[in-house]
C-alpha cells in the first residue's frame, strides 16, 4: 500500500454519505501514528459487523439486471445483507490458524439469466501484486454445490459432486484495470536482453523490439518464443498476460483439485476503498461446462465463501473459509 | 505439495513442476531445503530445473553437465543398494566407493543428487552436518584415488562427461577407462594418465622462443 493509494482529498462539497466515508478514511489513515490508527479503525469496523447477526442463508434477490461489474451499484441496496462468520482452515495444508477477519458481508442478486454475489470485508492493507516472490494477493471466492446441507461444501466438493468455484483475484483485477503488471513493476531497475517480456499496445515503456510472445519470433524457426514463458505457453490462466476478467471459474473435487474451466464466463469487479474490499463475482445461472452447478430461480443450493489476505501471505489452503454450511436461495421470478 | 503439481517421472526419476497445475502458491518454494524451486515473476508460477529431460530421453547428458569446464557433474541411473551394479559409474560412486553422498540426509528427503564432499573443508562437524557421517571417509577415498591408489575410482571420475552420451557401464582395461551407453555402444575411452609433452622453450627451426601454455 502506498500513500498515493489512500490520500484522496474531496474536491467538491461532500454529500452526507461521502462525508461519513471521508471521516472513516481519516480515522483509518490520518495522523502520524497511522499504523496504530489503522488498527483501531479495523477493530471498530469488525466490531461493527460483529454486532450484526450471523446467518447461514444467502438470498439472491430477483432484479431486472444484476450489476455484474459494479460493486457500488444502487441495485445492491435491494439485496439483503448476510453476515457470514469465517473460521480457521485446519483440514488441508497449508493451514490457517486464525481467520483474517471474523465476518464478511455477502449479498446476492439474480436476473433470471445471471447471478452475482458481492462480498465485502475489512482489509486495511491492499495487496494486489504477485510479481515479487513475497507478493501475495487479496482474493475471495464463492463455492456452489447442488442441494442444501451439502457437506462437500466443507471440502471443496467431492468426486461425485464437484463444486463450482468463482475466484476473484486482486492481481487479476489490477491486470484488467491497468494492463499486465510485468517485471518492472516489482523491479524498476531490471535489465534484460533476450527474455521475452510481455508488453501490450500502449505500454508506457518504450521497448520497440519486444511484443507479446504469441508473435515473438520463433527460435530457429522451430518453436514459438512462448516456450521461454512455460506457464503462458501451456495456457495456465495464472500466467495469461491478456486477462479479460478478474474472476476465474473453476471446478473442484476436493482439496487441492481445483481446475480452471474451459468456458471462462465468470465476471466481476473488486474495488478497495476505506480499508475494505467490495467484490462482485458473477456467472450465468446456466451451466456452460460439464459438472458445473447450474442454478434455477426458486431453488436452493449449498454455498461457501472464503477470503484470502495478501498481508498474511494467504494462498491456496491458507485462507479464511466460512464457518457454517450456507444455503443459497434464489428468489422466484 | 498442496496441488501435487510436483511429480516424479517414473521412467527416469526426474522431478518436474507441472506448468499447467501450478498456481503459484509458493509453498514448495518456501519449503524446499535445497532451494530448487524458483518463482517466475512473469508467469507468476513456480519452475525448477528440468534436468534437460528432452536430452536425457535421447541418452544425452543435461546441458549444465556438458558445458561444465570442470566436468564436475554426472548423471545416470542409481540402483538401490541391493540392485547396485559395480560396473555402473553412478552405482560405483554411491554404493561401492561411497564417495557420492546425499546432501542433508538427516532431512529424510532421500535426495537423488549426490555430492563428493569438498576436500579442502577442514571442519569435520560441518562436513558431517552437510553430507552425513560418511563424509570424512569419502574424502579419504577420493584423495587415495587422486594419488593413484584406486584406478577404478580414478577411471570413473575421468570418464565424467568425456562424452555427451550418458554412460551406464564402465570398465578399466590397460590403464584406460572405457564407457558404454545404454545401447552398448562404446562412447568414451580415456587414459588414466594423460600423456604430456614438454617442448623446448627455443624452437630452432623457426628461430623463435615460445611459451608452454598447457
Is residue A94 reached through a cis peptide bond, with omega within 30 degrees of 0 on the bond before it? yes
In three-state secondary structure terms, A19 is helix
Interface test with B, best of A156, A236, A241 (most B CBs within 10 A): A236
Q: Does A10 touch chain B (CB under 8 A)?
A: no
**B160 within a domain of the structure (yes/no):** yes
Using the beta-carbon criterion (under 8 Å), do B43 and A238 form an inter-chain contact?
Answer: yes
User: pLDDT band for position B203 (50/70/90)?
Assistant: confident
* Residues in chain A, pLDDT under 50: 1-14, 18-49, 203-212, 215-216, 219
pLDDT tens digits for A242-282? 889 999 999 999 999 999 999 999 999 999 999 999 999 99
Residue A198 with chain B: CB contacts under 8 Å: 42
Grid coordinates in use for B163?
562424452
**B106 within a domain of the structure (yes/no):** yes
CATH number at residue B45: 3.30.70
Q: Which domain does B15 fall in, by range?
A: 6-50
Q: Does B52 touch chain A (CB under 8 A)?
A: no
d(CA A117, CA A228): 38
Q: In Å, what is the CA distance from A220 to each residue of A60, A216, A217, A225, B62?
A: 56, 12, 9, 10, 21
Q: How many domains does chain A have?
A: 1
Residue A96 with chain B: CB contacts under 8 Å: none
* Residue B45 and residue B93 in one domain: no
**A230 within a domain of the structure (yes/no):** no
Nearest CA in chain A to B31: A94
* Residue B26 and residue B122 in one domain: no
Grid coordinates in use for B13?
526419476
Indicate whether B87 pLDDT > 90: yes
* Residue B16 and residue B92 in one domain: no
* Residue B19 and residue B78 in one domain: no
Q: Which residue has the cell 474451466?
A: A261
In this structure, how many other beta carbons lie within 10 angstroms of the beta carbon of residue A34? Answer: 13
* Residue B159 and residue B77 in one domain: yes
**A214 within a domain of the structure (yes/no):** no
d(CA B81, CA B88): 12
The pLDDT assigned to A202 comes to 53
**A205 within a domain of the structure (yes/no):** no
Partner residues linked to A250 by β-bridges: A165, A260
Q: Which domain does A61 fall in, by range?
A: 3-179+243-330
**B211 within a domain of the structure (yes/no):** no
**A223 within a domain of the structure (yes/no):** no
Using the beta-carbon criterion (under 8 Å), do A315 and B24 form an inter-chain contact?
Answer: yes
Q: Does B11 touch chain A (CB under 8 A)?
A: no
In this structure, how many other beta carbons lie within 10 angstroms of the beta carbon of residue A51? Answer: 7
* Residue B34 and residue B88 in one domain: no
Residue B35 with chain A: CB contacts under 8 Å: none
Indicate whether B83 pLDDT > 80: yes
* Residue B22 and residue B91 in one domain: no
Q: Does A170 touch chain B (CB under 8 A)?
A: no
Q: What's the distance, CA B149 to chain centroid?
A: 22
**A165 within a domain of the structure (yes/no):** yes
What is the value of ipTM here, to two decimals? 0.81
The pLDDT assigned to A22 comes to 40
Grid coordinates in use for B35?
532451494
d(CA A119, CA A166): 12
Ordered DSSP codes for A24-57: HHHHHH-SS-HHHHHHHHHHHHHHHHHTSPB-SE
Q: Which residue has the cell 505500454?
A: A203
Residue A183 with chain B: CB contacts under 8 Å: 41-42
pLDDT tens digits for B88-98? 999 999 999 99
Closest approach of B19 to chain A, Cα-based (Å): 5
Supply the angle between the helices A34-50 and A16-29 in degrees, to the nearest 10. Answer: 130
What's B184's DSSP letter?
A: S
| Torsion over CA: B94, B100, B106, B107 (sign) | negative
* Residue B45 and residue B109 in one domain: no
What's A76's DSSP letter?
A: G
**B152 within a domain of the structure (yes/no):** yes
Partner residues linked to A257 by β-bridges: none
CATH number at residue A175: 2.60.40.1190
**B67 within a domain of the structure (yes/no):** no
Chain B residues 15-34 with CB within 8 Å of chain A: 19-20, 22-27, 29
Partner residues linked to A302 by β-bridges: A145, A327
Q: Does B45 touch chain A (CB under 8 A)?
A: yes
Q: How many domains does chain B have?
A: 2
Residue B27 with chain A: CB contacts under 8 Å: 93-94, 315-316
* Residue B23 and residue B101 in one domain: no
What's A218's DSSP letter?
A: P
User: pLDDT band for position B198 (50/70/90)?
Assistant: confident
**A225 within a domain of the structure (yes/no):** no
Grid coordinates in use for A19?
462525508
Per-residue exposure over B104-140, b if at least 16 CB sit within 10 Å of its own CB, e if not: eeeeeeeeeebbbbeeeeeeeeebeebbbebbeebbe
**B12 within a domain of the structure (yes/no):** yes
d(CA B202, CA B102): 51
* Residue B76 and residue B45 in one domain: no
Using the beta-carbon criterion (under 8 Å), do A316 and B41 form an inter-chain contact?
Answer: no
* Residue B86 and residue B184 in one domain: yes
The percent of residues in chain B predicted with pLDDT above 70, rounded, is: 98
Partner residues linked to B39 by β-bridges: B46
* Residue B44 and residue B96 in one domain: no
In three-state secondary structure terms, A293 is coil
Ordered DSSP codes for B82-126: TT--TTSHHHIIIIIS---EESSGGG----S-EEPPPTT---HHH
Nearest CA in chain A to B2: A256
The pLDDT assigned to B30 comes to 92
Per the CB < 8 A criterion, the answer to whether A133 and B39 are in contact is yes
**B22 within a domain of the structure (yes/no):** yes
**A43 within a domain of the structure (yes/no):** yes
Nearest CA in chain B to A198: B42
Measured in degrees and rounded to the nearest 5, phi and psi for residue A266 equal: -85, 140
Interface test with B, best of A127, A167, A239, A252 (most B CBs within 10 A): A239
Q: In Å, what is the CA distance from B155 to each residue of B61, B72, B85, B187?
A: 18, 14, 16, 14
Using the beta-carbon criterion (under 8 Å), do A229 and B26 form an inter-chain contact?
Answer: no
Grid coordinates in use for A326?
450456507
Q: Does B54 touch chain A (CB under 8 A)?
A: no
pLDDT tens digits for B28-50? 999 998 899 999 998 999 999 99
Amino acid at each position: 500500500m502506498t500513500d498515493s493509494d489512500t490520500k484522496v482529498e474531496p474536491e467538491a462539497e461532500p454529500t452526507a454519505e461521502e462525508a461519513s466515508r471521508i471521516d472513516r478514511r481519516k480515522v483509518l489513515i490520518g495522523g502520524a501514528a497511522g499504523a496504530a490508527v489503522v488498527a483501531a479503525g479495523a477493530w471498530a469496523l469488525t466490531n461493527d459487523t460483529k454486532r450484526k447477526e450471523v446467518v447461514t442463508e444467502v438470498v439472491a434477490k430477483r432484479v431486472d439486471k444484476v450489476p455484474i461489474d459494479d460493486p457500488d451499484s444502487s441495485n445492491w441496496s435491494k439485496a439483503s445483507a448476510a453476515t457470514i462468520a469465517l473460521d480457521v482452515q485446519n483440514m488441508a495444508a497449508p493451514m490457517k490458524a486464525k481467520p483474517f477477519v471474523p465476518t464478511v458481508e455477502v449479498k446476492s442478486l439474480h436476473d433470471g439469466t445471471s447471478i452475482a454475489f458481492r462480498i465485502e470485508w475489512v482489509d486495511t492493507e491492499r495487496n494486489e501484486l504477485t510479481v515479487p516472490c513475497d507478493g501475495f494477493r487479496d482474493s475471495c471466492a464463492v463455492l456452489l454445490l447442488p442441494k442444501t446441507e451439502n457437506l462437500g461444501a466443507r471440502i471443496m466438493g467431492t468426486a461425485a459432486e464437484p463444486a463450482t468455484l468463482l475466484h476473484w483475484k486482486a492481481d487479476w483485477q489490477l491486470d484488467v484495470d491497468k494492463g499486465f503488471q510485468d517485471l518492472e513493476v516489482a523491479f524498476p531497475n531490471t535489465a534484460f536482453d533476450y527474455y521475452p517480456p510481455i508488453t501490450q499496445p500502449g505500454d508506457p515503456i518504450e521497448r520497440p523490439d519486444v511484443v507479446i510472445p504469441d508473435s515473438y519470433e520463433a527460435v530457429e524457426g522451430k518453436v514459438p518464443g512462448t516456450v521461454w514463458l512455460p506457464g503462458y505457453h501451456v495456457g495456465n490462466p495464472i500466467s495469461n498476460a491478456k486477462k479479460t476478467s478478474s474472476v476465474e471459474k473453476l471446478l473442484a473435487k476436493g482439496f487441492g483439485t481445483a481446475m480452471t474451466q474451459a468456458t471462462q464466463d465468470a465476471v466481476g469487479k473488486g474495488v478497495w476503498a476505506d480499508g475494505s474490499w467490495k467484490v462482485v463475482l458473477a456467472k450465468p445461472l446456466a451451466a456452460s461446462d460439464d459438472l458445473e452447478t447450474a442454478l434455477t430461480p426458486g431453488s436452493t443450493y449449498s454455498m461457501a465463501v472464503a477470503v484470502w489476505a495478501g498481508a498474511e501471505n494467504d494462498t491456496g489452503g491458507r485462507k479464511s473459509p466460512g464457518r457454517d454450511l450456507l444455503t443459497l436461495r434464489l428468489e422466484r421470478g | 505439495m498442496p496441488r501435487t503439481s510436483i511429480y516424479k517421472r517414473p521412467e527416469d526419476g526426474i522431478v518436474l513442476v507441472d506448468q499447467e497445475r501450478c498456481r503459484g502458491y509458493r509453498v514448495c518454494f518456501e519449503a524446499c531445503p535445497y532451494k530448487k524451486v524458483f518463482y517466475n515473476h512473469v508467469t507468476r508460477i513456480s519452475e525448477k530445473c528440468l534436468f534437460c529431460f528432452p536430452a536425457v530421453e535421447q541418452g544425452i547428458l543435461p546441458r549444465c553437465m556438458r558445458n561444465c569446464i570442470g566436468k564436475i557433474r554426472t548423471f545416470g541411473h542409481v540402483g538401490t543398494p541391493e540392485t547396485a551394479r559395480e560396473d555402473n559409474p553412478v552405482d560405483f560412486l554411491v554404493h561401492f566407493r561411497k564417495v557420492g553422498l546425499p546432501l542433508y540426509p538427516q532431512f529424510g528427503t532421500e535426495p537423488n543428487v549426490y555430492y563428493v564432499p569438498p576436500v579442502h573443508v577442514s571442519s569435520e562437524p560441518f562436513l558431517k552436518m552437510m553430507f552425513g557421517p560418511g563424509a570424512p571417509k569419502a574424502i579419504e577415498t577420493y584423495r587415495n584415488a587422486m594419488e593413484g591408489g584406486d584406478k577404478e575410482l580414478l577411471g570413473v571420475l575421468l570418464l565424467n562427461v568425456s562424452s555427451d552420451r550418458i554412460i551406464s557401464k564402465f570398465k578399466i582395461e590397460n590403464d584406460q577407462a572405457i564407457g558404454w551407453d545404454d545401447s552398448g555402444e562404446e562412447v568414451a575411452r580415456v587414459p588414466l594418465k594423460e600423456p604430456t609433452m614438454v617442448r623446448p622453450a627455443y624452437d630452432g627451426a623457426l628461430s623463435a622462443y615460445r611459451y608452454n601454455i598447457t
